[in-house]
């Protein structure tokens, strides 16, 4: 393929009739990440039912989240929003003593125009607990974008100077300190911190931190960088409201992405990367046992969590052919460096640039899957079993958001997930002669 | 506003979708924001469905919010009509769409002009009914629609079958053990020589609904879905119906006797007495099992029951009248059906609980401390925390409640499966005695296994140690009663002395 056509490879946009999780699902990982938090989802039974079922067993472990379930009186404004929220928040304060309460706005609060942002500061002063409002609703956002809305709201709360009574003698040196945004499990945070420490980069902190009270200081002209592709609002907020400088880089997913991420940070801080090439090569060598299984095989991303571009880029580098990358929402500026890396990866691997389909239509996609017969479809749970029954290998996309996939160390994890359906087939003696498991009626 | 962590019954649209996806070739279109199609995941995961769930969303987004759905809903209905060629499209409102107050009925009328399929709007109010009520309502709505249609086209067939026949109403997708129950119901009717006319909505085509009046009577195994339909058919065609759930030997007997009466009213004399006796004595092992020496130890054991109205009522009856278990209290979250429920169980247990608040249920379990719990997945987890065994007898469901093996709750085979469930839920026989003698086989230090946090009194280390020596299954009770005694006598710290005093003075 010539350079000109690969440059012209455009983006398509379909009807938006696709399956994904509601963005309020972000509470399931954020309440675990932010240890002193409590998430109050202000919505209806529908929201509650989704969370209850999507979170599975987590729900029984006394999670630090709850529904403020709206009743008919709330919808018709017979009840006073402020008084109702105050009553519930006082109860939460009494039972759980959280360090911060997050209010998650939903479709319903949008439609009835409940002024959460207006109520929060008053109530915050009255009950003396910080209240952060995030509108993670299905009218505007998909799945992981929920985290984006929460982090964007938190970005406003990061302190801009050190408290005087803070006895720690950490001095802020703007020249080579960095704030990273994106919620990752603690050990992945440590791993990435260590990778950057080896390059002489100091991390001032992460947004979010383990505790709300430990949010990092962000000052004008500080450098910030994201670890996940779905954090465009957070990036925008940090740039526009906090006047921070965004480092635009591919995301640290896969050894190629991680190298590019670290390299870009080093460039910004005027450091020559040390031993990165070797480190990447070493990881690729370790991955060979997996890559040999998928080399030359084809993949199709139906699209539901915004990790798709980064994962597709990594899989192409592993030798796969990607037919289509469905994605709920494509921020071409925030993901610019990632798309560029995808493009160069395709050139290096001499494969066609995959079609990027924004707001896909699942019905049409299933049609295309039927025609293309890809070796692997990365999709949501609604389609996985029916596709498997039709002899098409699938991988549940949500697992990528819960598994540890960032950095050099966890590259293996991604391929563990990707190759699982293929490895299953190797040892699997087919119990029936036909691969199609659909009863005829 | 209500603070809620968990709910027993889902939102209304789930009920409608469960009905729609049970029929053959019916497609539901939800008027909903992105992410509300979680039903598809449940259907595909819990039931391990091999087919694509016939539910799509007409997405409500910012544009819809600003300008209304306009042609969007109609286009989606027409598109689905062309793609899937369903017989019926059900437009399903969600809680979001219902506050938008768009004229969905108008969309339905306009769309139906362009479609081959019939189009109806599910008539459910999100803020007034829950999943179960909505499923009942939707099923009746569809049946009414097709009966009316058949009447208009004169295709209705009210000629009764020659042989006695029955419609089974209310076998629904994602229902608790419905598929297994259906197998046993089929067997039961086969044994009774009653022909099954239609099973609805389970995998029946909507065009077959016109055949409903051919049956001699209707049978509604579960109260949660089907009663409205049965009542409609009773009014419209004078069809009698039976709403006794054949769960447990006594209920099965009642149900069969009612059938006998109905058949008699059609001049068909049948005597099922012998059949019932034979089945009860030899086919079902449950009656003999409860007589057998193994079950003697069930006497005086305590249990609580909580679930939907159908299963909780039947289970209470089985435990008390068939197994001799002492049911401390029985409850349901089907608040709309509370009169019926109360009537069924109030003579069987000391207290009847009607609530959909799991916290209240949890506290009740903690304070009454039964030997076993029969409840939903939520009660199972409460039991885990309190160290009380639990048998799951009702939805809300979990993937574990869709076993591959045959596990009916209804019919004679159902009685066997329930007897196993009950027996396995109690610690019985020698194990029980040995635990008593040797102070339990758990040596863990955790003694604070109550849900109600009561920090009014403190325990001295000595007393706490003594407490661990008390067998696990009564420990909680001793702890609580001692605390009560200490509070009553204004002791701040429970020492060994206080503990002994409590034992002597308060009957622990």
Q: Do A214 and A309 sit in the same domain of this protein?
A: no
| Contact call for residues A246 and A253 (beta carbons, < 8 A) | no
Would B356 be classed as within a structural domain? Answer: yes
* Confidence at residue B18, expressed as pLDDT on a 0 to 100 scale: 96
Q: Do B299 and B424 sit in the same domain of this protein?
A: yes
Q: What CATH number is given to the structural domain containing B433? A: 3.40.50.1980
CB of A365 within 8 Å of a chain B CB? The answer is no
| Contact call for residues B43 and B175 (beta carbons, < 8 A) | no
Q: Do A344 and A381 sit in the same domain of this protein?
A: yes
| Residue A38 Cα, gap to closest chain B Cα (Å) | 12
Residue A65: domain span = 23-141
Nearest to A386 among B52, B94, B130 (CB): B52
Percent pLDDT > 70 in chain A is: 90
Nearest residue to A238 via CA among A330, A157, A356:
A157
Which of A87, A117, A141 lies at the terminal end of a domain, its last residue?
Answer: A141
| Residue B326 Cα, gap to closest chain A Cα (Å) | 28
**pLDDT tens by residue, A149-178:** 999 999 999 998 765 444 444 455 545 689
CB of A107 within 8 Å of a chain B CB? The answer is yes
Would B147 be classed as within a structural domain? Answer: no
| Residue B45 Cα, gap to closest chain A Cα (Å) | 7
* Confidence at residue A439, expressed as pLDDT on a 0 to 100 scale: 74
Q: Do A265 and A281 sit in the same domain of this protein?
A: no
Would A432 be classed as within a structural domain? Answer: no
Confidence bin at A4 (pLDDT 50/70/90): very low
CA–CA gap between residue A288 and residue A293 (Å, rounded): 9
Q: Do A134 and A214 sit in the same domain of this protein?
A: no
Residue B369: domain span = 288-437
- Chain A positions touching B397 (Cβ under 8 A) are none
Whether residue A432 is predicted with pLDDT greater than 80 in this model: the reply is no
Nearest to A70 among B1, B83, B130 (CB): B1
Whether residue A60 is predicted with pLDDT greater than 90 in this model: the reply is no
Q: Do B418 and B492 sit in the same domain of this protein?
A: no
* Confidence at residue A299, expressed as pLDDT on a 0 to 100 scale: 97
CA–CA gap between residue A86 and residue A84 (Å, rounded): 5
Q: Do B360 and B393 sit in the same domain of this protein?
A: yes
On whether B432 is known to bind a ligand per the annotation, the reply is no
User: Over B366-413, what HEC string results?
Assistant: HHHCCCEEEECHHHHHHHHHHCCCEEECCCCCCHHHCCCCCCCCCHHH
Q: Do A285 and A420 sit in the same domain of this protein?
A: yes
Q: Do B250 and B271 sit in the same domain of this protein?
A: yes
Which of B437, B469, B496 lies at the terminal end of a domain, its last residue?
Answer: B437
Nearest C-alpha in A relative to B40: A382
Number of domains in chain B: 4
The residue whose two tokens read 């119906």 is B241
Q: What CATH number is given to the structural domain containing A188? A: 3.40.50.1980
Nearest C-alpha in B relative to A73: B1
* Confidence at residue B502, expressed as pLDDT on a 0 to 100 scale: 81
Would B358 be classed as within a structural domain? Answer: yes
Three-state DSSP at A400 gives helix
Q: Do B433 and B292 sit in the same domain of this protein?
A: yes
Q: Do B260 and B346 sit in the same domain of this protein?
A: no
CB of A268 within 8 Å of a chain B CB? The answer is no
**pLDDT tens by residue, A33-50:** 999 999 999 999 999 999
Would A16 be classed as within a structural domain? Answer: no
Residue window 40-79, chain A: list those with CB within 8 Å of chain B: 42, 44-46, 48-50, 52-54, 59-60, 63, 65-72, 74-75, 79
Nearest C-alpha in B relative to A385: B50
Would A13 be classed as within a structural domain? Answer: no
Q: Do A283 and A247 sit in the same domain of this protein?
A: no
Q: Do B314 and B417 sit in the same domain of this protein?
A: yes
Would B136 be classed as within a structural domain? Answer: no
Catalytic residues of B: 294
On whether A266 is known to bind a ligand per the annotation, the reply is no
Q: Do B292 and B430 sit in the same domain of this protein?
A: yes
Would A12 be classed as within a structural domain? Answer: no
Mutate to test the interface with A, among B1, B55, B94, B100 (most CBs of A within 10 A): B1
Which of A269, A290, A309 lies at the terminal end of a domain, its last residue?
Answer: A269
Number of domains in chain A: 3
* Confidence at residue B472, expressed as pLDDT on a 0 to 100 scale: 66
**pLDDT tens by residue, A251-299:** 999 999 999 999 999 999 999 999 999 999 999 999 999 999 999 999 9
Would B444 be classed as within a structural domain? Answer: no
Q: Do B108 and B80 sit in the same domain of this protein?
A: yes
Would A358 be classed as within a structural domain? Answer: yes
Indicate yes or no: CB of B45 within 8 angstroms of CB of A59: no
Close Cβ partners of A153 (under 8 Å, ≥ 6 residues apart)? A102, A132, A133, A134
- Chain B positions touching A53 (Cβ under 8 A) are 38, 41-42
Would A158 be classed as within a structural domain? Answer: no
Q: Do B327 and B259 sit in the same domain of this protein?
A: no
| Contact call for residues B39 and B17 (beta carbons, < 8 A) | yes
| Residue B30 Cα, gap to closest chain A Cα (Å) | 11
Q: Do A406 and A283 sit in the same domain of this protein?
A: yes
Triad A220, A224, A229: Cα angle to 5°: 140
Residue A311 CB neighbour total at 10 angstroms: 26
Q: Do A422 and A280 sit in the same domain of this protein?
A: yes
Which of B283, B304, B334 lies at the terminal end of a domain, its last residue?
Answer: B283
Would B160 be classed as within a structural domain? Answer: no
Nearest residue to B166 via CA among B138, B140, B188, B141:
B188
Count of CA atoms in the C-beta half-sphere (13 A) of A221? 5
* Confidence at residue A8, expressed as pLDDT on a 0 to 100 scale: 45
**pLDDT tens by residue, A222-246:** 999 999 999 999 999 999 999 999 9
Would B373 be classed as within a structural domain? Answer: yes
DSSP result, B417-433: HHHHHHHHHS--HHHHH
Nearest residue to B172 via CA among B136, B124, B120:
B136
Q: Do B317 and B387 sit in the same domain of this protein?
A: yes
| Contact call for residues A239 and A156 (beta carbons, < 8 A) | no
Q: Do A303 and A228 sit in the same domain of this protein?
A: no
Which of B283, B315, B349 lies at the terminal end of a domain, its last residue?
Answer: B283
Mutate to test the interface with B, among A22, A46, A361 (most CBs of B within 10 A): A46
Indicate yes or no: CB of B36 within 8 angstroms of CB of A383: no
CA–CA gap between residue A380 and residue B7 (Å, rounded): 25
* Confidence at residue B449, expressed as pLDDT on a 0 to 100 scale: 43
Would A193 be classed as within a structural domain? Answer: yes
Q: Do B298 and B431 sit in the same domain of this protein?
A: yes
| Contact call for residues B224 and B132 (beta carbons, < 8 A) | yes
First to last CA, chain A: 47
Q: Do A179 and A122 sit in the same domain of this protein?
A: no
On whether B118 is known to bind a ligand per the annotation, the reply is no
Which of A115, A141, A167 lies at the terminal end of a domain, its last residue?
Answer: A141
Per-residue pLDDT of chain B (508 residues; tens, 9 = 90+): 988 888 899 999 999 999 999 999 999 999 999 988 899 999 998 888 899 999 999 999 888 888 888 789 999 999 999 999 999 999 999 988 888 888 999 999 999 999 999 999 999 988 889 999 999 999 999 999 999 999 999 888 889 999 999 999 999 999 999 999 999 999 999 999 999 999 999 989 999 999 999 999 999 999 999 999 999 999 999 999 999 999 999 999 999 999 999 999 999 999 999 999 999 998 899 989 888 887 887 888 899 999 999 999 999 999 999 999 999 999 999 999 999 999 999 999 999 999 999 889 999 999 999 989 999 988 998 888 888 889 999 998 888 889 999 999 999 999 999 999 998 888 655 566 566 666 555 544 444 444 444 566 788 888 888 887 776 667 777 888 888 888 888 888 888 888 888 877 765 5
Would B248 be classed as within a structural domain? Answer: yes
Which ranges constitute the DSSP H helices of A63-185?
72-75, 81-96, 107-111, 116-127, 145-155
Q: Do A292 and A418 sit in the same domain of this protein?
A: yes
Mean pLDDT, rounded, for A333-350: 96
Q: Do A116 and A241 sit in the same domain of this protein?
A: no
């Amino acid at each position: 393929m010539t350079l000109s056509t690969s440059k012209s490879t455009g983006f398509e946009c379909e009807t938006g009739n696709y399956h994904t999780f509601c963005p309020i699902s972000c509470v399931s990982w954020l309440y675990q990440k932010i240890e002193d938090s409590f998430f109050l989802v202000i919505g209806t039974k529908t929201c509650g039912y989704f969370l209850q079922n999507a979170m599975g067993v987590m729900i029984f472990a006394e999670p630090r989240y709850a529904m403020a379930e709206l009743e008919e009186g709330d919808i018709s404004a017979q009840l006073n929003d402020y008084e109702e929220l105050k009553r519930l928040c006082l109860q939460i304060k009494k039972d759980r003593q959280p360090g911060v309460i997050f209010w998650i706005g939903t479709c319903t609060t949008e439609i009835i125009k409940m002024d959460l942002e207006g109520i929060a500061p008053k109530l915050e002063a009255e009950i003396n607990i910080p209240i952060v409002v995030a509108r993670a609703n299905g009218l505007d956002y998909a799945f992981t974008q929920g985290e984006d809305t929460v982090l964007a709201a938190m970005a406003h709360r990061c302190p801009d100077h050190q408290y005087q009574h803070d006895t720690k003698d950490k001095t802020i040196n703007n020249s080579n300190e960095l704030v990273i945004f994106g919620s990752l499990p603690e050990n992945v945070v440590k791993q990435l911190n260590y990778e950057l420490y080896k390059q002489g980069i100091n991390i001032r902190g992460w947004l979010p931190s383990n505790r709300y009270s430990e949010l990092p200081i962000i000052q004008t002209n500080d450098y910030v960088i994201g670890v996940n592709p779905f954090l465009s609002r957070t990036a925008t907020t940090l740039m526009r409201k906090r006047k921070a400088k965004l480092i635009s880089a591919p995301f640290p997913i896969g050894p190629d992405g991680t190298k590019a991420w670290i390299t870009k940070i080093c460039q910004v801080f005027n450091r020559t990367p040390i031993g990165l090439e070797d480190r990447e090569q070493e990881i690729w060598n370790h991955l060979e046992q997996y890559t040999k299984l998928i080399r030359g095989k084809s993949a199709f991303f139906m699209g539901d969590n915004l990790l798709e571009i980064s994962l597709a880029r990594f899989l192409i580098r592993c030798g796969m052919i990607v037919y289509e990358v469905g994605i709920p929402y494509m921020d071409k500026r925030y993901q610019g460096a990632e798309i560029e890396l995808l493009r160069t990866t395709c050139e290096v691997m001499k494969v066609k640039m995959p079609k990027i389909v924004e707001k896909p239509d699942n019905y049409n996609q299933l049609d295309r899957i039927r025609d293309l017969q890809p070796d692997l479809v990365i999709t949501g749970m609604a389609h996985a079993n029916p596709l498997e029954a039709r002899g098409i290998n699938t991988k549940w996309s949500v697992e990528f958001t819960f598994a540890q996939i960032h950095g050099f160390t966890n590259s293996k994890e991604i391929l563990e997930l990707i190759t699982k359906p293929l490895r299953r087939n190797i040892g699997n003696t087919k119990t029936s002669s036909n691969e199609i498991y659909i009863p005829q009626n | 506003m209500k603070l809620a962590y968990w709910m027993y019954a889902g939102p209304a649209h789930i009920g409608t979708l469960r009905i729609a996806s049970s029929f053959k070739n019916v497609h539901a279109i939800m008027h909903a924001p992105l992410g509300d199609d979680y039903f598809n995941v449940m259907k595909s995961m819990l039931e391990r469905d091999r087919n694509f769930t016939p539910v799509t969303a007409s997405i409500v987004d910012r544009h819809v919010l600003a300008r209304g759905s306009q042609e969007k809903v109609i286009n989606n209905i027409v598109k689905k009509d062309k793609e899937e060629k369903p017989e019926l499209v059900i437009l399903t409102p969600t809680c979001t769409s219902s506050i938008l107050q768009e004229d969905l009925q108008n969309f339905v009328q306009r769309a139906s002009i362009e479609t081959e399929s019939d189009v109806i709007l599910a008539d459910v109010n999100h803020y007034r009914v829950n999943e179960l009520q909505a499923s009942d309502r939707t099923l009746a709505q569809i049946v009414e629609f097709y009966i009316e249609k058949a009447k208009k086209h004169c295709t209705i067939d009210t000629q009764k079958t020659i042989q006695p026949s029955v419609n089974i109403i209310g076998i629904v997708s994602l229902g608790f053990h419905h598929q297994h129950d259906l197998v046993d119901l089929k067997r039961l009717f086969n044994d009774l020589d009653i022909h099954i006319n239609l099973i609805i909505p389970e995998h029946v085509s909507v065009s077959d609904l016109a055949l409903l009046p051919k049956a001699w009577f209707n049978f509604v195994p579960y109260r949660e879905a089907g009663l409205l339909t049965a009542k409609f058919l009773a009014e419209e065609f004078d069809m009698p119906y039976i709403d006794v759930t054949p769960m447990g030997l006594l209920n099965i007997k009642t149900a069969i006797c009612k059938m006998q009466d109905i058949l008699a009213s059609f001049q068909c004399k049948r005597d099922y007495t012998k059949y019932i006796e034979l089945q009860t004595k030899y086919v079902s092992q449950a009656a003999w099992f409860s007589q057998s020496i193994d079950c003697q130890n069930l006497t005086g054991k305590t249990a609580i029951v909580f679930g939907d109205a159908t299963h909780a009522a039947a289970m209470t009856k089985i435990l008390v009248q068939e197994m001799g278990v002492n049911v401390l209290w029985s409850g349901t979250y089907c608040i709309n059906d509370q009169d019926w429920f109360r009537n069924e169980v109030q003579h069987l247990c000391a207290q009847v609980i009607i609530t959909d608040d799991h916290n209240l249920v949890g506290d009740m379990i903690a304070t009454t401390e039964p030997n076993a719990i029969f409840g939903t997945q939520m009660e199972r987890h409460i039991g885990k925390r309190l160290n009380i065994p639990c048998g799951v007898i009702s939805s809300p469901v979990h993937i574990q409640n869709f076993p591959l093996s045959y596990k009916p709750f209804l019919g004679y085979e159902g009685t066997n499966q329930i007897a196993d469930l009950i027996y396995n839920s109690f610690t019985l026989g020698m194990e029980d005695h040995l635990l008593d003698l040797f102070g339990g086989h758990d040596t863990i230090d955790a003694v604070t296994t109550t849900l109600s946090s009561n920090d009014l009194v403190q325990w001295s280390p000595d007393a706490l140690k003594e407490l661990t020596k008390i067998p696990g299954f009564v420990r909680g009770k001793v702890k609580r009663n001692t605390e009560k005694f200490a509070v009553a006598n204004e002791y701040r710290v429970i020492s060994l002395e206080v503990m002994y005093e409590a034992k002597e003075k308060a009957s622990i």
